[in-house]
């Protein structure tokens, strides 16, 4: 029903009496009362934990198979890190705008199949139509999300279903026919990915940038539109995430040792979203770390290399599910410990407009002061109260049973 409840038509506002300058600093979106100035310390602490875990896994991998960390083995590992990192960046970019793109995995598999089939024509000839298709598909997805104002996960899941239809047109694995070898430029690829991930995290830590990126995150009613700027930023993020997923698929195909199987790619989606959340990106949007994505990608990639060197066969679904489960815990940690502090050092509490009003004029009484507790008892009367058994109606008039006795 299209109506607003009395007392709740206004947006959430902080307590009255707060100066405008303080309001601007304490709240990320003063017009809607959305908390801002997120505390970054929780991200830094978690990134230290990820760094320690990455160092430990590297030492384990070195003890198990030192050749993986030098020469061709290291270049192959770095390309794997970049491919997984591009998928994690694609998922993280859409997560930060509160419109997660669940089609990144199928898009990567479709791009890998296309590159495997058309790679013999040259890298440029194979990449150009894939780039155009990814940009157009991302734009269509973005228009569906921002124009219809629907959740990104639902729209991207529908887009993933359409991409899977394209993938299932192949009945057998496709042999990579391109002669492009990304291992020759592995160090440059890794340096570029690390720079993009770190700079993106640093810019995301700036309050003004975080405001713009996270404006699509709902603050009151998710049916309310968040403005043209929020729609534009969300559209750009969805297009960018689709293009990044396409580039990741090309690297996966070129760095592989066998043919590309026509699978759904949803396991890559779960893994990408899980790694992004494991790095500190909130599932609710807006909040994210600085170096978390880079470290989380390194942890997962090195773990997979160590498991392969150890002779274990680990399903991608297993790793993806574990990463996503841990990412949910990290999201709770980020949301609980990353919320802003108020002026007096206490967490900022949001008070809805018209506090104390529920529906149609029903009001909640304000709590009274407890300074005079216990309350003073009322003055007692000094007179003796009348005895009801001595009322005149009990003493006057003839009694019926006495008349009957006569």
Averaged pLDDT score across all residues of the chain: 80
pTM of the model: 0.76
Q: What is the 8-class DSSP label of residue 339? A: S
Q: Give backbone dihedrals phi and psi of 27, rounded to 5 degrees, phi first.
A: -110, 135
How many CA atoms lie less than 13 Å away from 95 in the CB half-sphere? 30
Q: Name the 3-class secondary structure at 147.
A: helix
Do the Cβ atoms of 42 and 22 come closer than 8 Å?
no
Cβ proximity of 25 and 326 under 8 Å: no
What is the pLDDT, as a whole number, of residue 343?
Answer: 42
For 155-188, b/e burial (b = at least 16 CB within 10 A) is bbbebbeebbebbeeeeeebebebebebbeebee
Read off the pLDDT of each residue in 59-66 and give the average, rounded to a whole number.
Answer: 92
Share of the chain above pLDDT 70, in %: 74
Mean per-residue pLDDT, 350-378? 48
285: which DSSP letter? S
**Residue with more model confidence, 113 or 1:** 113
Peptide bond into 374 cis (omega under 30): yes
- What are the E-state strand segments in 44-140? none
Please compute the mean of the pLDDT values over residues 149-172 and round it to a whole number: 93
Around Cβ 231, how many Cβ atoms within 10 Å? 19
Q: pLDDT band at 379, cuts 50/70/90? A: low
**pLDDT recorded at residue 119:** 84
177 or 266, which is more confident: 266
pLDDT at 402 over 60: no
User: Is the confidence at residue 357, as pLDDT, over 80?
Assistant: no
Mean pLDDT of all residues in 202-216: 81
pLDDT of residue 311: 87
Confidence at 27, pLDDT banded by 50, 70, 90:
very low
Residue 183 pLDDT greater than 70, yes or no: yes
User: Which tokens belong to 35?
Assistant: 């908390």
Residue-wise pLDDT for 384-394, tens only, equals 555 555 545 54
Q: Is the pLDDT of residue 21 over 60?
A: no
pLDDT tens digit sequence for 306-340: 999 988 889 999 999 999 999 999 999 988 887 66
Q: Which residue has the higher pLDDT, 264 or 362?
A: 264
**Segment 272-313, tens digit of pLDDT:** 999 999 999 998 888 888 999 999 999 999 999 999 998 888
Range 206-230 average pLDDT? 78
SS3 category, 309? helix
Per-residue pLDDT tens over the stretch 33-52: 455 466 788 889 999 999 99
CB 339 within 8 A of CB 39: yes
Kindly report, residue by residue over 83-114, the tens digit of the pLDDT: 999 999 999 999 999 899 999 999 999 999 99
Q: What's the pLDDT score for residue 198? A: 93
Characterise 223 by phi-psi region: left (phi > 0), alpha (psi -120 to 50), beta (else): alpha
Q: Which two tokens stand for residue 15?
A: 């307590």
Which pLDDT band holds residue 25 (cuts at 50, 70, 90)?
very low
CA 261 to chain centre: 30
* Residues ≥6 apart with Cβ < 8 Å to 353: 7, 8, 9, 10, 11, 12, 13
């Amino acid at each position: 029903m299209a109506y607003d409840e009395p007392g709740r038509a206004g947006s959430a506002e902080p307590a009255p009496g707060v100066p405008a300058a303080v309001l601007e600093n304490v709240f990320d979106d003063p017009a809607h009362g959305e908390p801002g100035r997120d505390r970054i310390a929780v991200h830094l602490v978690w990134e230290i934990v990820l760094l320690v875990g990455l160092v430990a896994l590297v030492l384990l991998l070195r003890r198990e198979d030192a050749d993986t960390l030098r020469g061709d083995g290291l270049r192959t590992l770095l390309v794997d890190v970049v491919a997984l990192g591009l998928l994690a960046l694609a998922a993280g970019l859409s997560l930060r705008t509160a419109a997660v793109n669940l089609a990144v995995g199928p898009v990567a598999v479709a791009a890998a199949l296309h590159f495997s089939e058309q790679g013999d024509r040259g890298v440029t000839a194979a990449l150009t139509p894939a780039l155009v298709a990814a940009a157009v598909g991302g734009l269509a997805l973005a228009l569906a999300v921002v124009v219809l104002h629907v959740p990104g996960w639902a729209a991207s899941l529908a887009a993933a279903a359409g991409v899977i239809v394209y993938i299932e047109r192949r009945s057998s694995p496709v042999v990579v026919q391109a002669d492009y070898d990304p291992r020759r430029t592995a160090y440059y690829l890794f340096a570029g990915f690390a720079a993009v991930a770190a700079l993106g995290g640093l810019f995301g830590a700036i309050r003004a940038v975080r405001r713009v990126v996270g404006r699509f995150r709902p603050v009151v009613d998710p049916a309310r539109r968040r403005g043209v700027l929020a729609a534009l930023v969300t559209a750009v993020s969805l297009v960018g995430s689709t293009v990044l997923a396409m580039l990741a698929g090309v690297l996966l195909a070129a760095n592989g040792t066998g043919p590309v199987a026509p699978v759904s790619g949803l396991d890559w989606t779960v893994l990408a979203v899980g790694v992004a959340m494991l790095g500190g990106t909130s599932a609710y949007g807006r909040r994210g770390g600085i170096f978390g994505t880079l470290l989380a990608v390194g942890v997962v990639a090195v773990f997979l290399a160590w498991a392969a060197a150890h002779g274990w066969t680990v399903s991608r679904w297993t790793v993806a599910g574990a990463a996503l489960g841990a990412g949910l815990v990290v999201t709770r940690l980020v949301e609980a410990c990353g919320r802003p502090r108020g002026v007096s050092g206490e967490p900022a509490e949001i008070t809805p407009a018209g506090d104390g009003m529920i529906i149609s004029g029903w009001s909640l009484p304000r709590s009274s002061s407890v300074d005079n507790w216990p309350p003073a008892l009322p003055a007692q009367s000094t007179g003796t109260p009348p005895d009801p058994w001595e009322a005149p109606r009990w003493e006057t008039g003839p009694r019926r049973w006495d008349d009957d006795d006569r």
